Amino acid sequence: MKVPSVVSSLLLLAGTTTVTAASVLGKSPHPASPHSQPQQLQQQQPLQATSEDAGSFADKHDLNRIIDQSPLLSFHRDIVKIESISENEADVGDFIIQFLQERDFKVEKQVIEETGSNNESKPRFNIYAYPASNGPPKILLTSHIDTVPPFIPYSLDLPTGSASAGKVRREDILISGRGSVDAKASVAAQVFAVLEYLEKDPDASLGLLFVVGEERSGTGMKYFSQSPLNTSPPTFHTVIFGEPTDLALVSGHKGALVFKVTAKGQAAHSGYPWLGRSAVSAILPALARLDQLEDIPVEDGGLPSSEKFGKTTLNIGHVVGGVAPNVVPASAYAEAIMRLAVGDVDLIKEIILKAVHDSTGGNEDVTVEFINNGTGYPPVDFDTDVDGFNVTTVNYATDAFHLHLHEGSGGSRHGRVRRYLYGPGNILSRTATTRGCLCGRLRRQFGGTRS
């Protein structure tokens, strides 16, 4: 198989996945069921290529039935309904494993030794799967099954003004729920892209890797990377990472560095503040300076930028200080994350340390700790050598940095593994007020399935 043609086909399938009549109307609710009869299947066209979809109406109170008619959207609904905030991914993982095993996939449940903070937490595991008859994959599609908190239940709704005379177009249904975009849309798209490609070419060497902990520290991908499954040389020659990219190929994403600023003081009654030292007062000059760094010229101690990624940005996302209004605070801290546009992580650390030192007058009660043993990471570049796709860069980070690629490609000591970043949805939808997207857009983007 030629890499560009197969990759292009998989990417296109993830954008316009089609299903068969038997998949929708037969006994199995999903395509590639072990009970399917290939000779009875009739290939259908992508949803967006049909004219009848514009007229496919349903009662607005029967939205779930509309989702039921699409194997892709119903699978997406099933996994979004299962809460999988980081450290609680077991239930959705078990669901996906059962789904794949019923379709003759060999599934390796890669149990991670690390457990959640709750002693009663279920085991955490990655999912590594490929057709049982085909052996380890040459092309690996990967995404993550954990989400950020809080859990937001799956729901269907109608945007204002979409209904007409009690009817609604399927395209206008709004799907909401935590993970409906990041990244369970990619999970569903990759599963169905692989299933459909295997219907056309049963011998295709394709595999899936779904990891845990991406939203925290990349626990799942780090574990896979250090495991025997990540062979040397790599058995795979291509990895497709699934994240919300609006169906554009990403040429690179920014790096990241997380740090914590801590201030120590001395508690006292607020009526007698001179008897104590305010940790909040000590930390405020540092935070004010850090908050301005991205707009300060480099020669004046500001953060560097690059032509490809633009500014290096800094977000102070969590601040804690004191215990009560009438007590001089004895402690305070702030946590921040940086999105790095340049590759010199040590230079960025020096800029942070100098900014805190200078802004506080060298106050030894104000200190900086770089999280994860200071192992921030530089921007990551990806391949874009597939025609027919828009190309862009993104400001968020992914698991790609945590996957160490050994020398070689496809079982050979020669060559290198190609990496692509591609997926449905917009990253901004993850934290937007609605936290969802139009059903029509979702279907077009991560698998427009004619039902």
**Residues known to be catalytic:** 214
> What's the rounded Cα separation, in Å, for the pair 31 and 416?
34
> What's the rounded Cα separation, in Å, for the pair 352 and 81?
41
> What's the rounded Cα separation, in Å, for the pair 5 and 1?
8
> What's the rounded Cα separation, in Å, for the pair 350 and 74?
50
Q: CA-based angle 421:199:228, to the nearest 5?
A: 50
> What's the rounded Cα separation, in Å, for the pair 68 and 42?
19
Helices (DSSP H) in 82-211: which residue ranges? 90-101, 184-200
First-last CA distance in the chain = 31
Q: Which amino acid is at 342?
A: V
Q: Residue 157 is encoded by which pair of tokens?
A: 């709704």
> What's the rounded Cα separation, in Å, for the pair 253 and 395?
6
Exposed/middle/buried for residue 4 (C-beta within 10 Å: 0-12, 13-18, 19+) = middle
> What's the rounded Cα separation, in Å, for the pair 308 and 24?
45
Q: Residue 227 is encoded by which pair of tokens?
A: 């495991």
Nearest Cα to Cα of residue 89 among 224, 195, 192, 179 = 179
Q: DSSP strand E in 101-201: where?
A: 105-112, 124-131, 139-144, 155-157, 167-169, 174-176
> What's the rounded Cα separation, in Å, for the pair 155 and 80?
10
Specify which residues 420 forms β-bridges with: 240
Whether 128 contacts 208, CB under 8 Å: yes
